[in-house]
Amino acid sequence: MKLGKVIGSVVATRKHNGLVGHKLLIVRQVKPSPDGGLVPAPGGSQFIVAIDLVGAGPGELVLYTSGSSARSASTDSRDSPIDEAIVGIVDQTDFNASEVI
């Protein structure tokens, strides 16, 4: 699982049948920072589109998963082209800032 922040949404009037009825959200991966906050993760795919399985919204911190884990998380979309899925809304994070490199 990865930690991310919802920064927007995607509207697709035509999409795979397995995606119908699900929100598609834009998520930016985040990581802990030495000052105790969360900052955008460097490099790679910083912005992804994920199917929302938990009712997340803009500005919320979320847990998301990728690949076959994302497909299996959605019981009604196992045969759908899902590569990223939001599986949790984070209430709080707590980490030792001195361990962050």
22: closest CA among 90, 91, 89, 85? 85
Q: What is the pLDDT of residue 18?
A: 81
DSSP for the chain, please give it: -EEEEEEEEE--SS--GGGTT--EEEEEEEEE-TTSSEEEPPSS--EEEEEESS---TT-EEEEEEHHHHHHH-TT-TTS--SEEEEEE-S-----GGG--
Q: What is the pLDDT of residue 59?
A: 95
**pTM assigned to the model:** 0.87
Q: What is the pLDDT of residues 41-51, one digit of tens each?
A: 887 667 999 99
How many Cβ atoms are within 10 Å of 16's Cβ, its own excluded?
12
User: Options 2.40.50.220, 2.30.30.60, 3.40.605.10, 2.60.420.10; which CATH number does 2-84 get?
Assistant: 2.40.50.220
Q: What is the pLDDT of residue 101?
A: 60
Domain ranges in the chain are 2-84
Which stretches of the chain drop beneath a pLDDT of 50?
Answer: none
C-alpha 64/C-alpha 67 separation (Å) is 11
